[in-house]
């Protein structure tokens, strides 16, 4: 009977050793799983950010524009501060595909008075297809208000760049819109 008892104890101790030696109890296994989880999370985050922020625009003279970016950006910001112009775009709440919708711009000086007799252009860029880009001149309606009817040929993201020029002074306003089907 003692042989049966010792066999039972040996079986229990073997089972205990197997359970105690389980890989899931090792901190190394948990550390490796944690490392894999962090790597997957970072990769998913980078993929999502790539899709959300990639404009798809390629500039032909990227080297020259990059070299001059700092100086032109500083000049543009100082000009904007000096002028103090206020540009406010009134776009349709829901831009629609193949619909002739009017975009209005209110242009005022630093004191808030309407700024008339300016030349205003709206450049419209398709972020993923430069062949669809176009520009339209906005017409003055009076009292610093300008408008233009625009029809978008494709749904999706479009970038609007409105440039107001009066004499030697110039100011830009950029906005991204989404055109629905």
Q: What is the pLDDT of residues 4-44, one digit of tens each?
A: 555 556 556 555 555 566 888 889 999 999 999 999 999 99
Q: What are phi and psi of 108, to 5 degrees?
A: -135, 160
pLDDT at 101 (0 to 100): 97
SS3 call for 136: strand
Cα(88)–Cα(94) distance, integer angstroms: 17
141-155 per-position pLDDT tens digit: 999 999 999 999 999
Question: 107 or 1: which carries more pLDDT confidence?
Answer: 107
Question: Per the structure block, which two tokens stand in for 20?
Answer: 């105690």
Q: What are phi and psi of 124, to 5 degrees?
A: -120, 120
72-93 per-position pLDDT tens digit: 888 888 888 999 999 999 999 9
pLDDT at 53 (0 to 100): 77
- Kindly state the greatest CA–CA separation across the chain: 112
Cα(145)–Cα(158) distance, integer angstroms: 23
pLDDT at 8 (0 to 100): 56
pTM: 0.63
SS3 call for 175: strand
Asked if residue 103 lies in contact with residue 122, where contact means CB atoms within 8 angstroms, the answer is yes
pLDDT at 18 (0 to 100): 53
């Amino acid at each position: 009977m003692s042989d049966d008892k010792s066999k039972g104890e040996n079986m229990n101790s073997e089972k205990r050793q197997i359970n105690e030696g389980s890989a899931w109890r090792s901190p190394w296994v948990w550390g490796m799983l944690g490392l894999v989880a962090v790597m997957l999370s970072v990769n998913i985050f980078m993929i999502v950010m790539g899709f959300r922020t990639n404009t798809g625009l390629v500039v032909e003279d990227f080297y020259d524009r990059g070299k001059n970016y700092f100086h032109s950006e500083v000049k543009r910001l100082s000009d904007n501060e000096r002028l103090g112009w206020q540009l406010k775009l009134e776009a349709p709440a829901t831009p629609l595909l193949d619909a002739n919708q009017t975009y209005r711009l209110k242009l005022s000086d630093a004191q808030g008075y309407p700024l008339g007799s300016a030349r205003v252009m709206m450049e419209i860029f398709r972020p993923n297809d430069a062949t669809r880009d176009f520009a339209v001149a906005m017409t003055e309606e009076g009292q610093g208000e300008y408008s233009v009817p625009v029809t978008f040929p494709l749904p999706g993201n479009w970038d609007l760049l409105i440039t107001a020029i009066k004499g030697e002074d110039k100011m830009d306003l950029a906005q991204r819109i989404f055109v629905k089907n």
